[in-house]
Amino acid sequence: MKTISKVILKILKNVILAFCFIYGFDLIATGMNIFIPINIITIAVVAILGLPGLLSLIGIFFILI
């Protein structure tokens, strides 16, 4: 059985990595006028789904724009 602190640490690690993925993508894609906002919803999507979540957010950006 995992302790609560290990679960919280894993969730925190996923949130930090999600923030870094979105921020890194925004830095790279600024020249192409692609922007994924950094907010609770986008961080949660990327934290839960990982790289496929980021790719889905990019796809949603192209569908809505």
Identify the H or E element spanning 42.
helix 40-49
pLDDT of residue 1: 61
Which of 30, 27, 18 lies closest to 54, judged by CA? 18
pLDDT score for 5: 87
| Percent of residues in the chain assigned helix, strand, coil, to nearest 5 | 80, 0, 20
**Domain limits of the chain?**
4-64
Q: What is the pTM of this model?
A: 0.85
Measured CA to CA in angstroms, residue 4 lies from 24, 49, 53 at distances of 30, 22, 26
Please give the chain's pLDDT, 65 residues, in tens: 668 889 999 999 999 999 999 999 999 998 888 889 999 999 999 999 999 999 999 999 999 87
Q: What per-residue confidence (pLDDT) applies to 31?
A: 87
10 close to 42: Cβ distance less than 8 angstroms:
no
Give me the pLDDT at residue 33, please. Answer: 87
